[in-house]
Amino acid sequence: MTAAIEVRGLTKTYRRRRGTYRALAGLDLVVEQGGVHGFLGPNGSGKTTTIRVLLGLARADGGTAQLLGHDVPSRLPDVVGHVGALVENPNFLPGMAGRTQLQLLATSVGVPRTRVEEVLELVRLRDRADERVRGYSLGMRQRLGIAAALLKDPRLLILDEPSNGLDPAGMKEMRDLVRELGTGGRTVFLSSHLLSEVQQVCDRVSIMAGGRCLVQGPVDEVLAAHQQAGVVLSVDPPDVAAAVLREAGYDVVDAGRGRLRVGGTGRPVDDPAQLTRLLGARDLWLRELVPAATDLESAYLEITGGQGLGA
């Protein structure tokens, strides 16, 4: 099947007052059709630049890009009817009702007005649609932007950080909406620097850093490949416990805040009871024992070489 998005060797250099800046450094990216694909990366890693290039809003210096099998920007007119996008904050007229603005948009893109009601329903704005946009919350504006992007019933929906600035309830609503939009064969390409959002919503993920894609694949596989082995435990005093465990052949490292990670390399922790027995025999008692973190955040930090968020 044709990929929803395929990018090969994309480069983009911005000229700045003092020299140049390489925002994309040979980006390769394949987004298969269907489901929600997370496009994850720290601030400044090139996510928005990639999306702008895909939509013909910025020009790449080198490489190729395709949307649904069509070269962009050269064949963009052939595919634009199948692609919807929300990039940065959507621009609506504050003094006009949401429904009216969608109706005007629908007319301009040749979509029947009945579709306006469908998209309002999808983004759960129908009962507020006659109010002026001025009175909308940020979350409602984002949802109105998504409604506009959905008018053409696109096969590919590109969302650039739709949860930016939303409160926890707004973020939850956005996650539910994104998940729903990624069903029925549609592809949602969701850029985000929020790991938990990607982990909760996406089927697949591409992880960016420094204008390149470092890892891509199903979220589970990315997690499995970067899973930290062993368990983390808290025990007092940690240095005495560490010595006991090392003596028994375990690899022990400091996991911060007085905790130890046991079993990374060396003797595997097949059964945590081995550890409790060993330590208990020396009158060392566990306060906590949990599997070593296997969340996307640890994997992400490992993949991006510790380049935390906001890097």
Ligand X SMILES: Nc1ncnc2c1ncn2[C@@H]1O[C@H](COP(=O)(O)OP(=O)(O)OP(=O)(O)O)[C@@H](O)[C@H]1O
Binding site for ligand X (CB under 6 A): 14, 16, 21, 23, 41, 43-49, 193
Distance CA 146, CA 112 (A): 17
Distance CA 286, CA 241 (A): 10
Closer to Mg ion by CB, 47 or 204: give it: 47
Q: Which does 16 bind (CB under 5 to 8 A by kind): ligand X, Mg ion, none?
A: ligand X
Name the minimum Å distance from CB 47 to Mg ion: 5
Inter-helix orientation angle 114-122/98-108, to 10°: 130
What are φ and ψ of residue 204, in 5° steps? -130, 160
Closer to ligand X by CB, 39 or 250: give it: 39
Find out whether 192 and 198 touch, Cβ atoms under 8 Å: yes
Residue 48 interacts with Mg ion (CB under 5 A): yes or no: yes
Helices marked H in the chain: 47-54, 76-79, 98-108, 114-122, 138-150, 168-181, 195-201, 219-225, 238-247, 272-280, 296-303
Q: Which does 238 bind (CB under 5 to 8 A by kind): Mg ion, ligand X, none?
A: none
Closer to Mg ion by CB, 171 or 262: give it: 171
Distance CA 99, CA 131 (A): 8
The CB density around residue 304, as the number of other CB atoms within 10 Å, is 21
Name the minimum Å distance from CB 306 to Mg ion: 21
Name the minimum Å distance from CB 37 to ligand X: 15
Closer to Mg ion by CB, 143 or 193: give it: 193
> Between β-strands 204-209 and 35-40, what pairing exists: parallel, antiparallel or unpaired?
parallel
- With DSSP H G I counted as helix, E B as strand and the rest as coil, what are the percentages for the chain, rounded to 5? 35, 30, 35
Q: Which does 285 bind (CB under 5 to 8 A by kind): ligand X, Mg ion, none?
A: none
Name the minimum Å distance from CB 14 to ligand X: 3
Closer to ligand X by CB, 23 or 157: give it: 23
Name the minimum Å distance from CB 79 to ligand X: 22
Distance CA 162, CA 88 (A): 8
In this structure, what token pair is assigned to residue 257? Answer: 């805040």
Closer to Mg ion by CB, 46 or 84: give it: 46
Name the minimum Å distance from CB 65 to Mg ion: 17
Closer to Mg ion by CB, 98 or 197: give it: 197
Name the minimum Å distance from CB 8 to ligand X: 18
> In 3D, which of 163, 205, 157, 207 has the Cα closest to residue 182?
157
In this structure, what token pair is assigned to residue 107? Answer: 């007319």
Contacts to Mg ion by CB under 5 A: 47-48
